[in-house]
């Protein structure tokens, strides 16, 4: 009988150790899944943040070189892809706020990754911005480290520095960034 008790105790201990090992692996796997989901939903900021936009992009955006009484002003660069369903949605919502004069198309530029200017997203982008640049090769997306579309960069026109970015096409974010600068200019000029 004593041998049966010993075998039973050893079996229970082995079962306990197996369960502990499975639980440990589950915790490790859960941590990896959480880290991966965070990487997908909130990727790390591009290294262009707090730096100037690449020269090849700055040269293609003529509105950045126009004198402004509000200089420096905030300018939004919206990156869109022809294969992105969410891109057409953000353009439609942005078109609506532009028509309601909440946001001016003068403060927005678009970079569109598409095969040609004949795509619907390129035509839609032209309606919401003064500058729309075709990026058929993807070189502008790569230079700005744009990982997904739609993505928005907020820059200062005097330094061409990127001071914020947003992945996902948030029209309210655009409105807030443009409003933020306008409030700063008004407060400064009132002093």
Asked whether the predicted pLDDT for residue 175 surpasses 70, the reply is: yes
Strand partners, 161: 52
44 or 47: whose pLDDT is higher? Answer: 47
Please report, for the chain, how many H helices and E strands are present, in that order.
6, 5
Asked whether the predicted pLDDT for residue 170 surpasses 80, the reply is: yes
Asked whether the predicted pLDDT for residue 133 surpasses 50, the reply is: yes
SS3 of the chain: helix, strand, coil, percent, to 5: 55, 15, 30
Asked whether the predicted pLDDT for residue 21 surpasses 90, the reply is: no
CATH class of segment(s) 55-190: alpha beta
Residues in CB range of 15: below 8 A, 6 or more apart = none
Extents of the domains making up the chain: 1-42, 55-190
Query: Which pTM was predicted?
Result: 0.73
Residue range 1-30: mean pLDDT, rounded: 78
């Amino acid at each position: 009988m004593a041998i049966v008790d010993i075998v039973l105790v050893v079996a229970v201990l082995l079962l306990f150790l197996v369960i502990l090992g499975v639980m440990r692996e589950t915790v490790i796997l859960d941590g990896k899944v959480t880290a991966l989901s965070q990487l997908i939903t909130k990727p790390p900021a591009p290294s262009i943040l707090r730096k100037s936009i690449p020269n090849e992009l700055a040269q293609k955006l003529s509105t950045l070189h126009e004198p402004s009484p509000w200089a420096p002003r905030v300018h939004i660069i919206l990156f869109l892809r022809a294969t992105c369903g969410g891109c057409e949605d953000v353009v439609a919502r942005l078109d609506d706020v532009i028509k309601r004069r909440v946001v001016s198309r003068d403060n927005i530029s678009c970079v569109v990754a598409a095969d040609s200017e004949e795509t619907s997203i390129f035509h839609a982008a032209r309606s919401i911005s003064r500058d729309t640049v075709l990026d058929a090769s993807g070189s502008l997306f790569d230079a700005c480290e744009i990982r997904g579309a739609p993505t928005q960069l907020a820059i200062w026109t005097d330094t061409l520095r990127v001071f914020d970015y947003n992945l996902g096409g948030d029209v309210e974010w655009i409105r807030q960034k443009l409003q933020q600068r306008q409030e700063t200019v008004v407060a400064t000029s009132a002093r």
